[in-house]
């Protein structure tokens, strides 16, 4: 393995971390808007949304953790390869790939959870749009 092999992951991991940060910022803004809109009277479907948002925030934190761990391990792998500790560099790169896979799998689960949030919102809209027929 050469020094350039782990270096190939740098742009991908950087973009992935940026995407995770954007997801976090969107959720934070959504939570602030929900808080401002609901005030003291929280409707039942909003409680479901709050639970969903809490779970998604935890997942995004985990995604970021594993993404940063992957980035750090990739950097350490490059350093080990640079100082010609090839077996250590190869092992660190392998562990970096595993951390990246955990991050991506967590991201996939978070996307699934976000679809649940949309379903809750659609259900709420459906309940409000049905008016009694005359």
Three-point CA angle 14, 16, 17, nearest 5°: 65
Instruction: Residue 123: name the closest of 115, 134, 133 by CA.
Output: 115
Q: Residue 110: name the closest of 16, 9, 10 by CA.
A: 16
User: Can you read off the two tokens belonging to residue 93?
Assistant: 């790169």
pLDDT(126) > 80: no
Angle at 100 between CA 99 and CA 103, to 5 degrees: 90
Residue 129: C-alpha distances to residues 39, 58, 123 (Å) = 23, 33, 10
Per-residue pLDDT of 25-84, as tens digits, reads: 988 888 888 777 776 777 777 777 888 888 999 999 999 999 999 999 999 999 999 999
* Residue 129 predicted with pLDDT over 80: no
**pTM: predicted TM-score of the whole model, two decimal places:** 0.79
Confidence of residue 134 (pLDDT cuts 50, 70, 90): very low
pLDDT tens, 81-121? Answer: 999 999 999 999 999 999 999 999 999 999 998 887 788 77
């Amino acid at each position: 393995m050469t020094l350039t092999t782990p270096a190939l992951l740098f742009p991908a991991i950087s973009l992935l971390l940026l995407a995770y940060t954007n997801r976090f910022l969107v959720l934070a803004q959504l939570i602030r808007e929900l808080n401002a809109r609901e005030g003291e009277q929280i409707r039942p479907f909003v409680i479901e949304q709050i639970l969903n948002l809490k779970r998604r925030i935890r997942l995004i934190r985990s995604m970021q953790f594993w993404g940063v761990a992957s980035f750090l391990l990739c950097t350490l792998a490059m350093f080990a390869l640079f100082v010609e500790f090839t077996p250590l560099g190869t092992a660190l790169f392998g562990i970096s790939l595993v951390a990246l896979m955990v991050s991506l799998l967590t991201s996939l689960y978070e996307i699934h959870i976000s679809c649940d949030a949309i379903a809750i919102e659609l259900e709420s809209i459906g309940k409000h749009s049905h008016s009694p027929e005359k």
